[in-house]
Amino acid sequence: MEQTKLRFVRLRRYVWWLAAIWTVVLSGSLVWNLVSHNMEIKDLALNTARLTIEKDLLLRQWGASHGGVYVPVTAATQPNPYLSQIPERDIPTPSGRLLTLLNPAYMTRQLYELAQQKQSDIQGHSTSLRPANPQNAPDAWETQALQALERGQTEVSFLENREGKSFVRLMRPYHTEKSCLKCHAVHGYKEGDLRGGISVSLSFDRGTGYGPHIFLIWLSHGFILLVGLGLIGLGFCKINQDQREQMQMEEALRKSEEFTRSIIENSPDCIKVLDLEGLLQFMSPAGLKTMKITNFAEYLNFPYLDFFQGENREAAREALDQARHGETGVFLGYCPTLDGVPKWWDVQVSPIFGSNGQVERLVAASRDITAQKQIERDLARYQEHLATMVTERTAELQKTNEKLQQARRDWE
């Protein structure tokens, strides 16, 4: 019972360890997945930002390549005061409508003003450390980014949280080209100079499946964790039950063996177990005592037949053969004890079958019938004595009879 408890405790410890390891492994996997998902999302956001900037750049280059574009003057689109030095900034159409020149920076500013009105999460900005228009001055991050670009960096990115949303900000350098000089030569820029930077900022919580995907990662890990823990638990119950059953079986077996042993130990007969060759493997305590054997080790593997001589030996051999063939052989045999006391035995040899149904060993049970034999012999002797007495008496009687007849004849 103690042992069962110990096994149970040990098994439970293993199970706890297993569950802990499983949990750690899955937690590791969860963290790994979340981190790599996060990295993927950031990569994706950065790439989107790059594409946006590239498109902005194209748009500007297109504008610059035309030396700006003319649009109708409206309340929202007023002639740009910073272009006042350009000769044909404003031109009337033949019908009298006034058109004004839009420089690329103005174009994109209007574009992103539109985005702001539509509450889009994409924002773009052209800026410079020396802005022609103070309105285009950089913010704190942009200042740092522009300084980095001046040091030769080709791209500066930054992830930030604003109002509970994740944003990626990206800035690319904007170099002065020939087409820019039309308007920017007056600001002291030459071809190839870093004119400034163009930056975008976009939120990557939305439209990237960020939220639902993370939820799925959590859900799947939770599910796998629970299934694993469940299986470990079930395994524990099963093993525990099996162990219990095995212990019960062992206990039953032990009891039955104990019972058999107590029967053998308490039997007055001399019970011996032989192997198939007829060599002695075991002798019951009563047998050892009767035969006056003190150390059984000396008789281990002793040929059983050697206990008998002559006719007895033949009878014993036959009985062993019968038992080897699965039957029960019996014989009467004479075998004195070690200290020479004559003993007669009534022996029964039976097979012991193995689990495969084959005879595995033999058991010989000998009952001491010396006393019975003695009585038989005494009886025979007495009978003999009686017979001689009868013959003697008969002879005596005949003699007397003869004498009597002689006397009668003499008398006559």
Q: Interface residues with ligand HEC (CB under 6 A)?
A: 61, 64, 67-68, 80, 82-83, 101, 103-106, 126-128, 131-133, 136, 174, 176-177, 179-180, 182-184, 195-196
Least Cβ distance, residue 137 to ligand HEC (angstroms): 8
Task: Give the residue with the Cβ less far from ligand HEC, 85 or 117.
Answer: 85
The answer to whether the beta carbons of residues 164 and 130 sit under 8 Å apart is: no
Partners of 347 in the β-ladder: 331, 366
Least Cβ distance, residue 29 to ligand HEC (angstroms): 47
Task: Give the residue with the Cβ less far from ligand HEC, 82 or 304.
Answer: 82
Least Cβ distance, residue 145 to ligand HEC (angstroms): 13
- What single-letter DSSP state applies at residue 112? H
Query: Which residue sits closest to ligand HEC, CB atoms considered?
Result: 180
Sheet of 165-175, strands arranged across: 123-127, 194-203, 165-175, 156-162
Least Cβ distance, residue 139 to ligand HEC (angstroms): 13
CA-CA distance, 287 to 271, in Å (whole number)? 6
Task: Give the residue with the Cβ less far from ligand HEC, 106 or 299.
Answer: 106
Task: Give the residue with the Cβ less far from ligand HEC, 83 or 274.
Answer: 83
Least Cβ distance, residue 94 to ligand HEC (angstroms): 23
For the record, the structure tokens of 340 come out as 């020479």
Least Cβ distance, residue 63 to ligand HEC (angstroms): 7
Kindly give the interhelix angle for 2-65 and 210-266, rounded to the nearest 10 degrees: 160
Task: Give the residue with the Cβ less far from ligand HEC, 150 or 396.
Answer: 150
Task: Give the residue with the Cβ less far from ligand HEC, 64 or 225.
Answer: 64
For the record, the structure tokens of 99 come out as 């058109």
Taking alpha carbons only, the member of 139, 135, 150 closest to residue 201 is 139
Residues with Cβ within 8 Å of residue 235, at least 6 apart in sequence: 15
Task: Give the residue with the Cβ less far from ligand HEC, 183 or 335.
Answer: 183
User: H or E segment at 258?
Assistant: helix 210-266
Least Cβ distance, residue 79 to ligand HEC (angstroms): 11
Burial of 20 (0-12, 13-18, 19+ CB in 10 A): exposed
Sheet of 69-72, strands arranged across: 69-72, 98-102, 90-92
The answer to whether the beta carbons of residues 51 and 177 sit under 8 Å apart is: no
Least Cβ distance, residue 202 to ligand HEC (angstroms): 20
Q: In the block, which residue shows the tokens 């039953």?
A: 252
Task: Give the residue with the Cβ less far from ligand HEC, 182 or 373.
Answer: 182
Q: For residue 171, report the phi and psi dihedrals to the nearest 5 degrees.
A: -130, 135
Task: Give the residue with the Cβ less far from ligand HEC, 106 or 204.
Answer: 106
Least Cβ distance, residue 121 to ligand HEC (angstroms): 23
* Beta strands per DSSP E along 77-193: 90-92, 98-102, 123-127, 156-162, 165-175
